[in-house]
Amino acid sequence: MLTTKQRASLRMLANNLPDSVIIGKSGLTDTVVNEIEVALYHKELIKVSVLKNCDQDVRQMAFDAAAKLEAESVQIIGGKFVLYKFSQKEGIEHIKY
């Protein structure tokens, strides 16, 4: 569980991030969850964009994805959400918050 200060720090880092995963009309499918998992493994902090033609609720998708991947939902704004998960991958610069 992230503290308020950690969450604020991660939100600041996420401001300039490009969208790592884009969710289309099909919503949060297993394939999309796998893509999010791979992106989190390589980057730790990712921004996910949900297209307007998706019928599912963005907030619910963020919470579902975080629960399935044991990640933290950092921020949800409009059609985008930010997820964080510490990566066990060696050789990357881990986020210090």
Q: What is the pLDDT of residues 52-64, one digit of tens each?
A: 999 999 999 999 9
d(CA 96, CA 78): 27
**pLDDT for the residue numbered 93:** 86
By the 10 Å C-beta count (0-12 exposed, 13-18 middle, 19+ buried), 81 is classed as buried
Q: Is the domain 4-84 a CATH 3.30.110.60 member?
A: yes
Percent of the chain with pLDDT over 70: 100
Where do the DSSP E strands lie in the chain? 19-23, 45-50, 72-77, 80-84
* Mean pLDDT within 57-74: 97
Mean pLDDT of 22-47: 97
Domain ranges of the chain: 4-84
Name the percent of the chain lying above pLDDT 90.
Answer: 91
Residue 87: CB atoms within 10 A of its CB come to 15
